[in-house]
Amino acid sequence: MQYSEKVMDHFMNPRNVGVIENPDGYGKIGNASCGDMMEIFLRIEDDIIKDVKFRTFGCASAIATSSISTEMILGKKVSEALEVTNKAVAEALDGLPPQKMHCSVLAEDAIKAAIEDYLKKKNN
Ligand code: FES
Ligand code: FES
- CB neighbours of 119 closer than 8 A, spacing ≥ 6? 25, 78
- Catalytic, out of 20, 38, 103, 110: 103
Judge whether 111 and 73 are in contact, CB under 8 Å: yes
pLDDT digits (tens, 9 = 90+) for 52-94: 999 999 999 999 999 999 999 999 999 999 999 999 999 999 9
Predicted local confidence at residue 34, as pLDDT: 81
Q: pLDDT value at position 33? A: 81
Measured from the CB, is residue 31 less than 6 Å from ligand 1?
Answer: yes
- The ligand with the least distance to the CA atom of 31 is 1
Which protein residue's CA is at the shortest distance from atom 3 of ligand 2? Answer: 58
* Cβ count near 71 (within 10 Å): 13
The answer to whether residue 1 scores a pLDDT higher than 70 is no
Ligand 1 nearest-atom number relative to CA 102? 2
What are the DSSP E strand ranges found in 61-119?
A: none
- Taking the C-alpha atoms of residue 52 and residue 20, their distance in angstroms, rounded to an integer, is 8
pTM listed for this prediction: 0.93
